[in-house]
Amino acid sequence: MITSNLNWTNLAKSKSLMAERNHDPKSIAIWACGIQMIYQSGRQNFQVLKGIDLQVRSGDIQLLMGPSGSGKTTLLSILAGLLTPTAGRVMLLDQNITQMSRQQLAQFRLRNIGFIFQGFNLFPALTAAENVEVALNIKGIRGRRARHEAEIRLDQVGLAAQKHLRPRDLSGGQKQRVAIARALAGNPKLIMADEPTAALDSTSGHAVIDVLRKLAKEDGATVLMVTHDPRIIDVADRILHLEDGQIQH
Ligand SMILES: Nc1ncnc2c1ncn2[C@@H]1O[C@H](COP(=O)(O)OP(=O)(O)O)[C@@H](O)[C@H]1O
Ligand SMILES: [Mg+2]
């Protein structure tokens, strides 16, 4: 297969050539090369990803689609540095995350990636605003600055009026929106989302799509998202289809 023969040096060369052509060395935010993933359960090996190459341009909204069980969540987790692939390399914002230590990777994720994964994981004892503030505190933003940004983020997802409510007083869609406000806090350059609107009512869904679109188009964030939501397909720049462990062209 041509793609798996493409080594990392060649990829880096072709990348710099491409950057020269575009006069923009930062035009690719996410690079992956030869990603393979084999899960082991008991004595059985199961290859979910069979050599994935992909690139996502800065400021793009790129979607990852494919049937259930095709490996979308696995691939997204690898690209986000949450899961180590069996083979292959990942480069995020011009940094090779495959070579990073656990600690470096944790720092990198904290600084650069906003995660919108399933499950809200909100602190039940904290208000919506405090849930966002805590995330900012972890990123080194404290006090009045954190309070101010938390308000802005909640306003962005349409929850300005609910900022003093605790998770038990919010609907499922509202909780998901708090989780999204929290993911966006601190302005991550990369946003990785796994079916962010799947469990949302239509108002929440629209609010979320609008925020993601603005982040990409106005703030230049790069959004990589697993979704089947036709409203998101409308605003996407590119769509990749994953099937049988490979990207279908
Ligand atoms: N931790 C794991 N151990 C073993 N198999 C797994 C694990 N995670 C996912 N799988 C299997 O890998 C395949 C792809 O899963 P997943 O990436 O969640 O697909 P998708 O998100 O497209 O539905 C599925 O068959 C799933 O059962
Ligand atoms: Mg999934």
Residue 34: per-residue pLDDT: 97
Interior/surface letters 35-69, b for 16+ CB within 10 angstroms, e for the rest: bbbeeeeeeeeeebbbbbbbbbbbbbbbbbbbeee
Instruction: Give yes or no for residue 74 CB within 6 A of ligand 1.
Output: yes
Residue 42: per-residue pLDDT: 86
**Positions of the chain with pLDDT under 70:** 1-26
Ion ligand 2: residues, CB within 5 A, are: 72-73
Instruction: Give yes or no for residue 123 CB within 6 A of ligand 1.
Output: no
Residue 7: per-residue pLDDT: 52
Query: Is there a contact between 117 and 148 (Cβ–Cβ < 8 Å)?
Result: no
Instruction: Give yes or no for residue 41 CB within 6 A of ligand 1.
Output: yes
Task: Please tell me the distance from the alpha carbon of residue 2 to that of residue 91, in angstroms, as a whole number.
Answer: 20
Residue 58: per-residue pLDDT: 95
Instruction: Give yes or no for residue 72 CB within 6 A of ligand 1.
Output: yes
The number of helices, as runs of H, and strands, as runs of E, in the chain is 9, 10
Domains of the chain and any CATH numbers:
59-85+101-248 (3.40.50.300)
Residue 21: per-residue pLDDT: 47
Instruction: Give yes or no for residue 73 CB within 6 A of ligand 1.
Output: yes
Query: Is there a contact between 215 and 161 (Cβ–Cβ < 8 Å)?
Result: no
Alpha helices (H) along the chain: 2-5, 8-22, 72-79, 102-112, 128-138, 143-156, 172-184, 202-217, 230-235
Structure tokens at 185: 């806090």
Structure tokens at 222: 């790069």
Residue 20: per-residue pLDDT: 46
Instruction: Give yes or no for residue 44 CB within 6 A of ligand 1.
Output: no
CA 168 to chain centre: 27
Distance 184 CA to ligand 1 centre (A): 27
Written in H, E and C, the secondary structure of 14-30 is: HHHHHHHHHCCCCCEEE
Which residue's C-alpha comes closest to atom 27 of ligand 1?
A: 69
Q: Which ligand is nearest to the CA of 198?
A: 2
SS3 168: helix
What would the pLDDT profile of 146-177 be if each residue is shown by its tens digit? 999 999 999 988 999 999 999 999 998 899 89
